[in-house]
Structure 1
Amino acid sequence: MTPSLAQLAELVRQAEAKTRARKIEAETRQAAEHFREAEARSRQALERMRNARPASSRALEQADSDEQLLKDLVRKLAQFKSSLSSDADAEQLIATSQAEIERIRKEARTELEAATRELEECRRELRTAVDAYRQLRRELERLQPELVEAFAAEDRLLWDAESHFPGGQLQLLAHEVEAGLNAYPHLAKLEQYARLKVWIGRFRYHQAGPDRESENAEEIQTLAHKVFHQLKWLSRQYEPGYIEAFRQDFSTDWAAYVAEAQDQLVHAMETQRLARARREDEAEEAAAEA
């Protein structure tokens, strides 16, 4: 390949990369908007379920209690039937009571089924939106790392979104830690510190608000044990700095703690990106002078 042809090929490659980067940026912003909307709908559905479940349970328990009382009253009526002034009135009241009990029971079950169906549909939509955003977000970070900070709010929302799924937040954290183990030693100390602070903060957030809906409590407990020991090992192995969240007697507003740590992580990543860009510029200048 001639030098001019090689230069032309490089120009084409750069143009393709910029076009792809712009396309990915637009797609990521669109996916982020869809993700935010899906998270809001799922949050509303989850709130409806949290209200519907106890209300429906109380209504069903009351219906069962009223039905038992009705049976007892019917038995007593049979014993004292001769003393009734009107059989028709008693029979009408029995039929009306039965109808009211069935109506209450049906309404409670209908509300609970509707809330369950809505939550399942919203969770499916949210999972699709989360996966789409996360995939595009990774590609965007590879092509345009300078845009990391622009999506910081959506990155935080990813953690909140996982709370819509039983055990979701801890599973997401476990995946992130596992995926980041190999890269962690190569990070700058500032980024190591911030990333570990985010991870242990998320872990303590999970501890402070256990997922009561999880049907796999033993499995979640085993996973939590594994994640904590991985984080403790990273802290001891690389000593990025003192992090108070590793102390079990330390407590705080964990949501605010994680948000602060994420801001520190974004700042650390941006600092490293600028440092790399500066080194590349210096290398180019040195090569040009040579």
Structure 2
Amino acid sequence: MVAHSGLITVMQRAARKAAPRLRRDFGEVELLQVSRKGPADFVSMADKRAEQTLLEELRHARPDWGFLMEEAGVIEGDPAKPRWVIDPIDGTSNFLHGIPHFAISIAVEEPRGGGWRGDITQALVYQPLTDESFWAERGRGAWHNERRLRVSSRRDLADTLIATGVPYKAHGDLPRFTRILEAVSPEVAGIRRFGSAALDLAWVAAGRFDGFWEEDLQPWDIAAGILLVREAGGFVTDFRGGDRALELGQVLAANDQIHSRLHKLVGGALRN
């Protein structure tokens, strides 16, 4: 067994408490695809039920901590104590369409300088359907269940598989995304859009993807994933190469060599 802090135990216990109902709800939403009403309202309730379970479990363990949650928003706690950053279903559109690729994302954010600055110390991305637990602690590495994670060691951009997120509806800047895509696509082996930023970043940490870029993201989408990649030996920045990824909702992640090359491509695309 890999030794980890009690906080990781608390986070895993909370995620596994929410998981059985999510699995049942996912089975139901597949059936609802054929109904006239459709599954959207049902999925909204599944989101809220999962979030409530996580809230109850984590509040029981740390009653004076606050929360930043996708559905409930900010719930204030002791300002001197950390807070939980939670997405109960990252990949809601996948869930909605019966696609088995979504995750629970939980991170611990420490207060800094009288406010919240994205100082993430513990992270968990949990896939309820596969029972995969991607977790990390600052300074102690990243893990997939009991196996140590390392980012991909590829150095040649032409061999890489890069993940991204595509703007949709009122989310994101499609012309800007297109410029980046046109710069990156000819240089890599392939680009994937799987629909869950939390899992995309966990898969970068695991070396399944060699890199990832996306913007217009929320803190609960990426807080856990950012720490996973960094603790797996990778680099995570905003598009300018700075350390404001969580603050800006803008992520560029890869190993050191691939990150440098992707950064040049993205930077060049944004200057055009």
Same fold (TM over 0.5): no
> Which protein has the bigger strand share?
2
Q: Which has the larger radius of gyration?
A: 1
TM-score bracket relative to the smaller structure: under 0.3
So what's the TM-score if we normalise by structure 2? 0.26
The higher-RCO structure (CA 8 Å, 6+ apart) is 1
> Which protein has the bigger helix share?
1
So what's the TM-score if we normalise by structure 1? 0.25
